[in-house]
Amino acid sequence: MITLDALREYGANVDEAIARCYGNEELYLKLVGMVFEEANFDRLKETIEAGDLDGAFEAAHALKGVLGNLSLTPMQTPATEITEHLRAKEDADYETLLKELFDQKDRLQQVIA
């Protein structure tokens, strides 16, 4: 079960995110649980592997927004870095950045389990 304390332990800015949800803690917790169903994680990985940097940018930008709105900072940070490299069409070490993003996603899953 997801708890606010577990999310704080993870590094989420829970108070900021709940404010975005108009103080509705139940809604916030529900939205956090839905992160694991977010299709843009797989889309980002697939488009980077395929060399489709435009498609990867769209997926990364969408993830950055979702993770930012939920104040899931440990995941938002690598998503933001990936987004900015893709925006600039830079040749970056996307494999390492993706690993960090997915490791943080796994860590969140463990923290809230």
Judge whether residue 88 has pLDDT over 90: yes
Neighbours of 2 (CB within 10 A): 15
pLDDT, tens only, 32-44: 999 999 999 999 9
Tell me what the mean pLDDT of segment 27-56 comes to.
97
Judge whether residue 112 has pLDDT over 90: no
What does the domain layout of the chain look like in residue ranges? 4-112
Q: Residue 82's closest CA among 106, 101, 105?
A: 101
Distance from C-alpha of 35 to C-alpha of 66, rounded to nearest angstrom = 8
| CATH entry 1.10.10 includes domain 4-112 | no
**Residue that the structure tokens 């860590």 belong to:** 107
Residues in the chain: 113
Check residue 1 and give its pLDDT.
Answer: 81
Check residue 113 and give its pLDDT.
Answer: 84
